[in-house]
Amino acid sequence: MKAFYGTKLPNPLMLGTAQYPSPAILEQSFRKSSAAVATVSLRRESGAGQTFWQMIQDLGVLILPNTAGCHTVKEAVTTSHMAHEVFGTRWIKLELIGHTDSLQPDVFQLVEAARILTEDGFQVFPYTTDDLIVGERLLGAGCEVLMPWGAPIGSGRGLNNEYALRAMRAEFADVPLVIDAGIGLPSHAARAMELGYDAVLVNTAVARAGDPAMMARAMVRAVKAGQLAYQADPIEARDMAEPSTPVIGKAFLS
């Protein structure tokens, strides 16, 4: 696994902290997942108060604050600075939403905000599309990580465009890539890792499951299985059958 701004994660699963039925279930889900990173919205923390923040600290995970709900560069930059004051980290997951229904990022403002935040000393994790040109612009703005969506946030559709995600992995071979948004099943998470991605960020699929802790456990097993499969250099798909038993040495009856 590649390092994220110099930090290597012991686990390729990142877990969000929103929408859980209760703080106790959130905590249990994190324990079962062994997730190394928790994404936390400044709005979420402010609403939950000190008890929530203390629980997150007690988990012993890395904190990745996000700018959820921001629609302008100014709002995203201001929220990032406030998050730094609250959480004490230079990491920031930069979300800058442009479309209300799909929650698709506004990639034009995203690049500008990423440039400003990088110049301000932040280590930016941009939530972006699977567009190669946007990826290049974000890297040029100072980002060292890209977080393309698999599908719209909370949709549970998995990986909508594997071709584009494959192309992104090939184009940015040395860049840490994280699938962010759209994961609905452990099989989706495993598939992302099989494509060579370095981590998967999951929130809704765990938090809204009938048993969040059990789903969290399933997700961590899936990402580890997918990671191992990628490292094992799997066979390519074929249109025709290929016998697994060699013909040479086969007995023939007269």
pLDDT for the residue 237: 83
Pick the range with the lowest mean pLDDT from 30-44, 126-140, 141-155, 236-250. Answer: 236-250
* Tens-digit pLDDT profile for residues 43-75: 655 555 677 778 888 888 999 999 998 999 999
The C-alpha angle 98, 101, 102, rounded to 5 degrees, equals 70
What single-letter amino acid sits at 128?
A: T
* Cβ atoms 5, 23 nearer than 8 A: no
74 catalytic? Reply is no
The residues spanned by each domain of the chain are 9-232
160: annotated binding-site residue? no
User: Burial letters for 164-177: b for 16+ Cβ neighbours within 10 Å, e otherwise?
Assistant: ebeebbeebeebbb
The CATH code for residues 9-232 is 3.20.20.70
Catalytic hit among 8, 74, 93, 224: 93
Pick the range with the lowest mean pLDDT from 42-51, 137-146, 195-204, 227-236. Answer: 42-51
150: annotated binding-site residue? no
204: annotated binding-site residue? yes
pTM here is 0.90
